[in-house]
Structures are given as C-alpha cells and as structure tokens.
Structure 1
Amino acid sequence: MLIFWDQRLVFLATPKAGSTAVEMALDPLAAVSMPRPDPLKHMAARDYAAHLAPYLHSASGEHFTTVALMRHPLDWLRSWYRFMHRDELDTTQIDSPNQSFEQFIETCLSDQTHRFAGIGKQTDYLTDENGGLLIDRLFRYEDMDSLVRFLEDRLDCAITLPRVNVPPSVETKLRPETEIRLREFLADDFRLYGTIGPEHPPQDS
C-alpha cells in the first residue's frame, strides 16, 4: 500500500495483480509506503475503509481517492499457481508442489480448509461484505496503461513500471468442465471484473 499525502491518493495493492511493480516505481514519491508485512502491503479495502480512511480524513479534512488493480479471475489464479512454482520458493511450505494446475483448482474448489484456499478471491480485497465496491478508481491489470496515465496525471510525473516477479512458464490449462465450475465459484469476481471494461480471454484458453 502507498499513501500520497499531498495528492490525497491511496494505492491499495491487490495480490498478484501487478502491485509490486507499481510500488517499486512509486515508492520514492509516496509519503507512506507499507511493503511488509502482507496484511499491510495487501490491506483489503474493507479494512482500509474501517480503520485507516477515517484517520486520514480526520487528519487532512479531505477524502483520499483509492485506486487499485483487478486481474482477470482465471489469470489471477494462474499467476498464483506459477508463483508457487518459483525456484526460490520453499516448496516444503506447499502441500503438493508437483500438483498440476487442474489439481490445484480442484483443491481450491473442493477443500476450503486446504492451504491453497487461503488465496481467497479478489473481491475479498476490493469490496465490502455485501459485494459493494470500495475502490474509487479500479483498473484492469490487463489495461495497465490506463492506470499509468491516471497516476501520471495525479502525481504529475512520468512513470515507467519495472518488470518484476516474473513467474516460471508452467502448464495451466483446465478441462472445460473444471473451468465452468471455477467460473461459478468466482462469480462475484467475474461480475466485478465485467464492470470495469470488456472481459479479456484468459491467457491459456
């Protein structure tokens, strides 16, 4: 999470949606940067609205615009899967490091107490408990240029995003019937994603 005091702007970092690149590019410009631990780096919008937003408003007398990214829901899980197969990741912390993507998704769908189920959904980070959007300016990860233009305008500077956290190339295809079930499971995410622009096809379909 990044807070830009003078510009009354807060960047909330949705996991696995390009947040690290944005934070690396903008960290020198931010009044407050929270790169760790994860509960602060990836503070959910509902936690921000409940705890930090009231303080910022009280201290400044003004509303801080929130901005965030959302990734195509299927690509988001593909990114998590690739992340879990990085060479430097301690695979002893993964229950089944050799799981196929199909098995990984089946696990997420069938066993909500499994470690992978802790990934959750993007709507967990972007909406309230009733599904209401809590972000003022939400951009698609697949349309990063629009986010950059918005930030350049608000921060009055040119922005170049670095290429970081490049995951390994691994197979991430799904059987059609599994994808149907996954789309049902992620219905709220697909619904929200559809409100911020034309739906992009997942990369490996």
Structure 2
Amino acid sequence: MALPHRGFVWLSMPKCASTAVEEVLEPHARVILRGEFKHTNYTAFTQRIEPVLAGGGHRRESYEVVCLFREPVGWLESWWRYRSRPELKEGPKAHNYTGDMSFTEFVDRYVERHPSLLGIGRPARFCSLQAERVGVDRVLRYESTDVWQGWLTEKVGQDLGFRQTNVSAKRPAELDPGVRRRAVDFFGPEYDIWAHLEPDGQWAPPADHLLSL
C-alpha cells in the first residue's frame, strides 16, 4: 500500500499481519495492491510501483519503503497452520493442504525445497533487491506490536484502531531439534536481518548490506 504523502510505502509480507494493516491503512492510501499483487516484494515494487509513484510526482527519495519481518521459524509455523484449514483439503489447492502433516515434516520439506512448498518463498528475498542486498528502507519486527503500530500511527497522524484478523487455528507445533537446526542454517540471511531487529524492534539497513541467498 502506497502512502507517499505520508512518507512511506508498506510492503505486505505474507503471514505478517497483512490483513490487519490493510484494513487500517486503506482509507489513507493513494495506491492499494490487491489480489495477486497484494504481497508485492521489493524487487517487484521497484519494477512496477516505483515508476507509477514517480509519474505522480513522488520521487523514490521522498518516501520510505517499509515491511514487517517475523522470526523465521515462527513465520514458517504460521504458513503450516494457515495451510491446515479444513476448506483447503477439498478445494482446488488441496495439494497445499498440511492438516495431515506434522510441523517437523513441513519444515523438512520446506528446507528441501519440495515442489508443493515452493510458492511460500522466503522473507529475506521478499525485502531484498534481486536477492542480493536488503532493499527496503526500514524493517519492523512483527512481534514488537507496540513498535510497528506506533510507527504507523505516528506516520498517518491518527489512531488507527488496530484489531487482530485472519488468525489461523492453533495446532501443536513440535519441531525435531535436528530439523530446527537445519532450518536455522537455511534461514541464515533471515536471521542476519532478525539479529538487527532485536535491540529495539526496527532497523534501517545500510544501502550496502549484502545477503547470501
């Protein structure tokens, strides 16, 4: 969602409060991406949306590009829960159903890049430019609710009335320690970003911060 008149563009990373943020920002946004474009990543933003904003008089240096970022294994757990919805089992995307799969199996398949999970992507790639360096101007930690909600409230200039939406059903998420270690190794670039978020819940990456994806 683009709010260049408020000084920022919000990229909605999947499984990071996208619906809740969209709900409160929609009345204030100049550009709203829906459907298949809802989760536009940073590289796609530079190719498709940045030129549109520039044509409207909003040069890139006049606004920040911002996104939420979740603890990587927790982010993956959210995907596992989301794909366990009963309605998915019988629908056209039944091949994505995880209701009969343990979290350990799900993580193992993700790390092995099983075809059924390739559509999930990965957080570091979402916020990077051509998968080489962090491209967004500010990353906000999903778990630090007071930080990112406060940041948005200050930018928009009024109480936004956040509420929790689109929450997946709870399931036991036991994870084999060995598989967890594999996931942490796989998510090396993600945990690099995550480490910068731990002090105060947000990070403005330097332009030369490289990733190995």
Same fold flag (TM > 0.5) = yes
User: Which residue is 2:209 aligned to?
Assistant: none
8 Å CA contact retained: 1:95, 1:115? no
Name the SS of the counterpart of 1:89 in structure 2.
helix
**Pair 199,116 (structure 1): closer, same or farther in 2 beyond 3 Å:** farther
8 Å CA contact retained: 1:45, 1:128? yes
Listed one character per residue, the Cα deviations across residues 1-28 of structure 1 (whole Å, up to 9, x for unaligned) are: x111422321100000111110111111
Name the SS of the counterpart of 1:142 in structure 2.
coil
User: Which residue is 2:53 aligned to?
Assistant: 56
Instruction: Give the CA deviation at 1:61.
Output: 4.5
User: Which residue is 2:41 aligned to?
Assistant: 44
Instruction: Give the CA deviation at 1:113.
Output: 4.5
Listed one character per residue, the Cα deviations across residues 151-190 of structure 1 (whole Å, up to 9, x for unaligned) are: 1111111122121111111121111111101111111111
Listed one character per residue, the Cα deviations across residues 59-114 of structure 1 (whole Å, up to 9, x for unaligned) are: 3153321111000001000000000112333452326641111111111122x242
**Pair 55,33 (structure 1): closer, same or farther in 2 beyond 3 Å:** closer
CA distance in 2, matches of 1:35, 1:59: 20
8 Å CA contact retained: 2:80, 2:98? no
8 Å CA contact retained: 1:4, 1:31? yes
CA distance in 2, matches of 1:109, 1:129: 21
Name the SS of the counterpart of 1:33 in structure 2.
coil
How does the TM-score come out when normalised to structure 1? 0.87
User: Which residue is 2:166 aligned to?
Assistant: 165
User: Which residue is 1:183 aligned to?
Assistant: 184
User: Which residue is 1:105 aligned to?
Assistant: 107
8 Å CA contact retained: 1:123, 1:131? no
8 Å CA contact retained: 1:57, 1:64? no
The one-letter code matched in structure 2 to 1:27 is E
The one-letter code matched in structure 2 to 1:84 is R
8 Å CA contact retained: 1:3, 1:10? yes
8 Å CA contact retained: 1:71, 1:142? yes
User: Which residue is 1:77 aligned to?
Assistant: 76
8 Å CA contact retained: 1:12, 1:43? yes
**Pair 199,145 (structure 1): closer, same or farther in 2 beyond 3 Å:** closer
Verify: 1:93 aligned to 2:92, yes or no. Answer: no
8 Å CA contact retained: 2:85, 2:97? no
Q: Which runs of 4+ in 1 moved over 4 A?
A: none
The one-letter code matched in structure 2 to 1:103 is E
Name the SS of the counterpart of 2:183 in structure 1.
helix
Name the SS of the counterpart of 2:173 in structure 1.
coil
The one-letter code matched in structure 2 to 1:49 is T
Structure 1: where are the runs of 5+ without partners?
Answer: 201-205
How does the TM-score come out when normalised to structure 2? 0.84
8 Å CA contact retained: 1:12, 1:66? yes
